Copies of this chain bind each other. A is one copy, B any other.
C-alpha cells in the first residue's frame, strides 16, 4: 500500500486498510516514541501549518510530530501573510500552493466556521489547495471534518477496550454501543470533531446513537455515511431527543456542544445567536449519575472540555476518562499520517 502523496481531508475517503496502516504505525510509534527509526523520516524537511483559526492542541501536536520525525513545522497565520481570502486581495490559491510545493513536504490547514461564509466553505478551500498543490494536504480541522481527531479517538477507545496505552484492539470495538450526545454550553462549537467521531465509530462497527435536542441535527451527508458504515457491519444508527436514553448500555460516551444547521445568516456565522439558542437547553451535561446508567462506559472528548457544562469534573477527571490518552494520540496518529504521506523513507 502506498500512501505517499495522498491528501488526508476526511477518514471516510480513505479505505479501511489505509486507515489501519496509519493506526498500526501510530501504535508502534507510541510504544517506541523516540526510536531512531522515525528520526530520519522527515529529516530537514519542512511542513507548513496554516492556522486560519487558533488552536492549542493541534498546533502543539503537529509541531511536535514534525520535530519527532526529524523535520520542522512552520507555524503560519494568514494575518501575517498576504493570501487572497473572501474578504481581501492577495495571492491566488494556485500561486500559493504551487510555490509551497517547491519548499515543503506537506501542508496542514485549519479553518473553522467563523472564518467562512457558509457551511462547507472551509472544506472546499482545503480541496482547492489539494487541487493545486503537488504535496499532501492534511486537514488540521475544517468546518466539516477533523480526521486526525477521529483517528486519535478510535485509537484511544481501542486502547481502553484493548491492552492499554500503545496496545489498541480494534476488533474489541465491534458491536459496542457508542453514544454521541449534544451538550450544554456557551461555546457555539464546530461540527468537525463530532462528525468525524460518527464516521470513525461506525467505520469500526459500533452501534451509534446521536442524542440531541430537536433542531440540532448534523450534516445529512455524514448521517448517511454513518448509516452505511453501520449497515456494512450489521450495526445500528439512530437519533433521539431524549437526553438520558442513549446512556443505557453505552460503552463509550462522547458529549460535546455544537451549533444548529441555521448558524449562518447572510454569509456570516452567528456565534452569539447560536449561544443564545443553546442556552434554552440546560441539563444536557454528562454526570456521574448518567454514567452509572451505562455499561461501565469510558468518557471521551476531543478537548478543550467545557467543564461544568459538557461534563462534570467528576467524570472528566474520573477513572474512566480517556481524554488525556486521546489527546496524546493526536501526536502519534499525526506522526504516522505524516510519515506515510510525506516521508520518502522506507518504513
Using a CB–CB distance below 8 Å, which chain A residues touch chain B?
34, 39, 43-46, 48, 51, 54-57, 59-61, 63-64, 67-68, 70-72, 74-77, 79-83, 89-92, 94-96, 98-100, 102-104, 186-187, 303-307, 316-317, 323-324, 327-328, 331
Task: Give the distance in Å from the alpha carbon of A258 to the alpha carbon of B39 in the complex.
Answer: 46
| A56 and B96 contacting across the interface, CB-CB below 8 Å | yes
Most buried by B among A48, A100, A103: A103
Check B56 against A91 for contact (C-beta < 8 Å).
yes
| Residue from B91, B103, B186, B304 within 8 A of A303 (CB atoms) | B91
CA distance A91 to B328 in the complex (A): 16
- Is B51 a contact of A80 with CB atoms below 8 Å? yes
Q: Does B43 contact A34, Cβ atoms closer than 8 Å?
A: yes
Contact across chains for A95 and B63 when beta carbons are under 8 A apart: no
Most chain B CB within 10 A, of A39, A80, A100, A306, is at: A80
Name the contact of A103 in the complex, choosing from B80, B186, B323, B328 (C-beta under 8 A): B328
Q: How far is the CA of A91 from the CA of B60 in the complex (A)?
A: 15
A323 to B98 alpha-carbon distance, docked (Å): 10
Contact of A44 among B34, B79, B103, B327 (CB under 8 A): B34
Cross-chain contact B324 with A102 (CB below 8 angstroms): yes
Contact A57–B328 (Cβ < 8 Å): no
* Residues A44 and B60 in contact, CB atoms below 8 Å apart: no
Most buried by B among A43, A51, A77, A304: A304
Given contacts A51-B80, A99-B324, contact A186 B317 (CB under 8 A): no
Is B91 in contact with A331, judged by CB distance below 8 angstroms?
no
Inter-chain CA distance A51–B80, complex, in Å, is 10
